[in-house]
Amino acid sequence: MPLFILRRILQSFNVLFVMSLLVFAGVYAIGNPLDLLVDPNATADDMARAAASLGLDQPLWVQYGRFLANAMRGDLGNSFIHGVPALGLIVERLPATLELAVVAMLIAVLLGIPLGLWAGLKPDSWTGRAIMAGSILGFSLPTFWVGLMLIMVFAVQLGWLPASGRGSTADVLGVSISLLTADGWRHLLLPAANLALFKLSLIIRLTRSGTREALLQDYVKFARAKGLSNARVVGVHVLKNILIPIVTVVGLEFGSLIAFSVVTESIFAWPGMGKLLLDSITQLDRPVVVAYLLLVVTLYVLINLVVDLLYAALDPRVRLAGARA
Amino acid sequence: MNAQRDPTLVVDRLTTRFVGRRGAVTAVDDVSFSVAPGEVLGLVGESGSGKSMTGFSILGLVDPPGEIAAGSIRLKGRELSDLSAREWRALRGDRIAMIFQDPMMTLNPVLRIDTQMIETVRAHRRISSNAARELACDALARVGIPSPDERLRAYPHQLSGGMRQRVAIAIALLNAPDLIIADEPTTALDVTIQAQILFEMQTLCRESGTALIWITHDLAVVAGLADRVCVMYAGRIVEQGSTAQVLETPAHPYTRGLLDSTPAANVQPDEAGRTQPLRQIPGMAPSLNELPAGCAFRPRCTRVSDLCQQVPPEVELAPGHVARCFHPLPAAQGVKS
């Protein structure tokens, strides 16, 4: 097991390296940040000085080499725009995004699995059909539209919940968290629901199809023949088998919630990382974009690692091979 | 034989139907038989003959849209066909146990053996986990599993097919049921393992007085195991009697055909030293939703007449030997082997 984890971490360095190369070259190809940074009326001398101070006067491979050398020491460079370390800029906004993603995922899982089980057990009942119809809506309605509708109904018409911002937060070890205040929760609810809707639909459909498949298996019939209660057959025999694919999808979807909640964060003016990424791309703030994507890759690697460990815990047939890949 | 004793199970004119959009399909049609304590009844037939569905009907496990449409099932005198779902559940795995065909599929792959055994005991008895575990350990030992304590902690994939079927049998034995329904439990196993398991099942049932219904398509298995045999075709029992009666003096042309198509019946070489090619029953087993009227075997039968367009009555040819046929074969035509 420790060998497996170690291997995984070493592998992830390869991914990080390739990723940084691609993003670095990609952003370089999009345009010259100097055009945006420096006053258009500046003299050629000023331009050259600015370029030199940011290291942009060097050829690409030199710039990348410097970046790499610094990155080895944990320094991903300063933001061109803000002049502060790019990583710090991102990490500062991480808690806001993270708590949004966690709450959204919890909503999706805690509602999605029971609803999916129900729809799978009673596919012909009207409740089962209603759940499936709802999940199709959740699947196909665009996030931005749902977000706007949520604001319109719950913030504008009913006035129950605030439409934007993060509300008051409480500090824990220097990290501000809105989950600890009632006002924070009120602010969190709408964006979290907005983000959860798609994932919820996904989990419902996944759980339903898994349940329907499992119900046809001999082990379910055998469990029934043993005289087990329905609750035990469904809650243990079926659920434990269908959790395996669900865990995988939940892991990947959680990663995408953290990394790419850009639309929802923009609509609800949630001060998370998504907004930062968007701004950085339009301003060609390369260090921030590179650092952001490297962070995202790291998150994905970590999530996948956790998924694999969970997999092994759920499915006794899976053995984590340290020696083989 | 224990035929004189009060039978454990009496199935009387059982009919199980599946009602679909395009009409009803009768999977089990007017089936009657009984099993005595300690007796082994072989239920023989091709795929789709309704033999498994008969087993599931007795267990109350017919999934909708299927339902028991008529008839009665009595276990030790108690009528089962009108039990509530809760009463069925209490009965299953306790008084009636079932073993399935494929041991690779019947055990839940993600639960340990002990979990799957202990839950079977605790579904029916208020007993501590530890006590249930002891019972599980004993049951494993009884079906010949070495170091049962260790096996209890294993997952199904760590055991071989034969081992897994033994575990399934041990699960069936856990609550000392009155009746075990075994649905082709040895079909998926090696021949040597098959023989061992057959022998063990026979011994265990004889010792404990458990009635056993052995569902199979394999006449060779029935010959060595069963006290009595029911031959099913297209949902009906076409012939039943003691194993000797049915296998040595088959009365129904279908039984005859089945016997002829077993490889063992064709092994005598002719003068040139060649064995004969296997004989087959002409035609195919009919699909249940397009059965011919009257005797379902009619289109494939060599002894067919106009009379066969009626459903044949049960004819008692000898004490206990019953066939549903207008033109039963004379006893002299029995198989010589």
Identify whether residues A91 and A183 lie together within a single domain.
yes
Supply the pTM of this predicted model. Answer: 0.79
Q: Do A317 and B124 touch (CB under 8 A)?
A: no
The count of other CB atoms within 10 Å of the CB of residue A313 is 10
Residue A213 placed within a domain:
yes
C-alpha distance from residue B132 to each of A120, B111, B137, B145, B152 (Å)? 32, 16, 9, 18, 12
With an 8 Å Cβ cutoff, is A52 touching chain B? no
Residue A78 placed within a domain:
no
pLDDT, mean of residues A216-228: 89
Q: Which residues contact B87 (CB under 8 A, 6 or more apart)?
A: none
The two beta strands, B321-324 and B236-242, are: antiparallel
Identify whether residues A64 and A143 lie together within a single domain.
no
Identify whether residues A160 and A265 lie together within a single domain.
yes
Q: In the sheet that B40-44 helps form, which strands lie side by side, from edge to edge?
A: B96-99, B179-183, B211-216, B40-44, B228-233, B236-242, B321-324, B314-318
Identify whether residues A157 and A296 lie together within a single domain.
yes
Q: In the sheet that B66-75 helps form, which strands lie side by side, from edge to edge?
A: B23-35, B9-20, B66-75, B78-79
Mapped onto helix, strand or coil, the DSSP state of residue B236 is: strand
Q: Which residue of chain A has the CA closest to B113?
A: A316
CB B62 within 8 A of CB B68: yes
Q: Which residue of chain B has the CA closest to A232?
A: B119
* B280 has a pLDDT exceeding 50: yes
Identify whether residues A51 and A163 lie together within a single domain.
no
Task: Please give the pLDDT value at position B307.
Answer: 81
Q: Which residue has the tokens 């055009």?
A: A35
Q: Do A232 and B123 touch (CB under 8 A)?
A: yes
Task: Please give the pLDDT value at position B333.
Answer: 46
Task: Please give the pLDDT value at position A110.
Answer: 95
Nearest beta carbon to residue B92 from set A225, A244, A315: A225
- Please report which confidence band the pLDDT of residue A119 belongs to, taking 50, 70 and 90 as the band edges: very high
pLDDT, mean of residues A71-94: 81
Q: Do B107 and A223 touch (CB under 8 A)?
A: no
Nearest beta carbon to residue A225 from set B61, B105, B109: B61
C-alpha distance from residue A27 to each of A32, A260, A283, B171 (Å)? 9, 18, 11, 64
* A158 has a pLDDT exceeding 80: yes
Q: Do A225 and B59 touch (CB under 8 A)?
A: yes
With an 8 Å Cβ cutoff, is B213 touching chain A? no
Burial category of B246 from C-beta neighbours within 10 Å (exposed 0-12, middle 13-18, buried 19 and up): buried
Q: Do A221 and B157 touch (CB under 8 A)?
A: no
Q: Which residue of chain B has the CA closest to A222?
A: B106
Name the residue range of residue A9's domain.
Answer: 2-72
With an 8 Å Cβ cutoff, is B157 touching chain A? yes
Does the ipTM surpass 0.95? no
Task: Please give the pLDDT value at position B268.
Answer: 64
DSSP H/E element including A46: helix A44-54
What does the pLDDT look like over A134-155, one tens digit per residue?
999 988 888 888 888 988 898 8
Task: Please give the pLDDT value at position B331.
Answer: 65
Residues across chain B: 337
Least confident interval from A70-84, B6-20, B74-88: A70-84
Most confident of A170-174, A219-223, B63-67: A219-223
CB B225 within 8 A of CB B312: no
Task: Please give the pLDDT value at position B269.
Answer: 65
Task: Please give the pLDDT value at position A103.
Answer: 92
How far is the C-alpha of A173 from the C-alpha of A271, rounded, in Å?
Answer: 19
Report the helix count and the strand count for chain B, using DSSP H and E: 11, 12
The count of other CB atoms within 10 Å of the CB of residue B3 is 13
* A325 has a pLDDT exceeding 70: no
Task: Please give the pLDDT value at position A174.
Answer: 67
Instruction: Give Cα A322 distance to the centre of its chain.
Output: 28
Interface contacts A/B by beta carbons within 8 Å: 77
pLDDT, mean of residues B61-81: 85
* B2 has a pLDDT exceeding 50: no
What residue segments make up the domains of chain B, in order of their start?
Answer: 9-36+46-83+218-266+277-333
What does the pLDDT look like over B114-145, one tens digit per residue?
999 999 988 888 888 888 998 889 888 888 88
- Provide, as residue numbers in chain A, all residues whose Cβ is less than 8 Å from the Cβ of B90: 227
Q: Do A314 and B110 touch (CB under 8 A)?
A: yes
Residue A77 placed within a domain:
no
CB A180 within 8 A of CB A95: no
* CATH code assigned at A246: 1.10.3720.10
Task: Please give the pLDDT value at position B102.
Answer: 83
- Please report which confidence band the pLDDT of residue B267 belongs to, taking 50, 70 and 90 as the band edges: low
With an 8 Å Cβ cutoff, is A83 touching chain B? no
Q: Which of the residues A124, A221, A222 would you substitute to probe the B interface, choosing the one with the greatest number of B C-beta atoms within 10 Å? A: A222
- Please report which confidence band the pLDDT of residue B230 belongs to, taking 50, 70 and 90 as the band edges: very high
Task: Please give the pLDDT value at position A300.
Answer: 84
**In chain B, which residue ranges form alpha helices assigned H by DSSP?**
51-59, 85-91, 103-106, 113-122, 129-142, 148-152, 161-173, 191-208, 219-225, 243-248, 253-260
With an 8 Å Cβ cutoff, is A310 touching chain B? no
Identify whether residues A53 and A121 lie together within a single domain.
no
Burial category of A137 from C-beta neighbours within 10 Å (exposed 0-12, middle 13-18, buried 19 and up): exposed
- Provide, as residue numbers in chain A, all residues whose Cβ is less than 8 Å from the Cβ of B171: 226
With an 8 Å Cβ cutoff, is A218 touching chain B? yes
With an 8 Å Cβ cutoff, is A229 touching chain B? yes
Q: Which residue has the tokens 């003959």?
A: B49
Residue A82 placed within a domain:
no
What does the pLDDT look like over A252-301, one tens digit per residue?
888 888 877 888 888 888 888 888 888 888 888 888 888 888 888 888 88
- Provide, as residue numbers in chain A, all residues whose Cβ is less than 8 Å from the Cβ of B123: 226-229, 232
Task: Please give the pLDDT value at position A324.
Answer: 41
Task: Please give the pLDDT value at position B3.
Answer: 44
Nearest beta carbon to residue A240 from set B61, B98, B111: B111
Strand partners, B72: B12
CATH of B9-36+46-83+218-266+277-333, one of 3.40.50.2300, 3.40.50.1860, 2.120.10.10, 3.40.50.300: 3.40.50.300
Task: Please give the pLDDT value at position B332.
Answer: 43
Mapped onto helix, strand or coil, the DSSP state of residue B12 is: strand
With an 8 Å Cβ cutoff, is A111 touching chain B? no
- Provide, as residue numbers in chain A, all residues whose Cβ is less than 8 Å from the Cβ of B173: none
Task: Please give the pLDDT value at position A205.
Answer: 93
* B334 has a pLDDT exceeding 50: no
* A50 has a pLDDT exceeding 90: no
How many Cα atoms occupy the beta-carbon half-sphere of A306 within 13 Å? Answer: 12
Last residue of a domain, one of A44, A72, A100: A72
What does the pLDDT look like over B303-312, one tens digit per residue?
888 888 888 8
With an 8 Å Cβ cutoff, is B94 touching chain A? yes
Task: Please give the pLDDT value at position A118.
Answer: 93
Q: Do B105 and A219 touch (CB under 8 A)?
A: yes
Task: Please give the pLDDT value at position B284.
Answer: 75
Most confident of A23-27, A113-117, B75-79, B153-157: A113-117
A164 phi, psi to nearest 5 deg: -150, 170
The DSSP call for residue B128 is: -
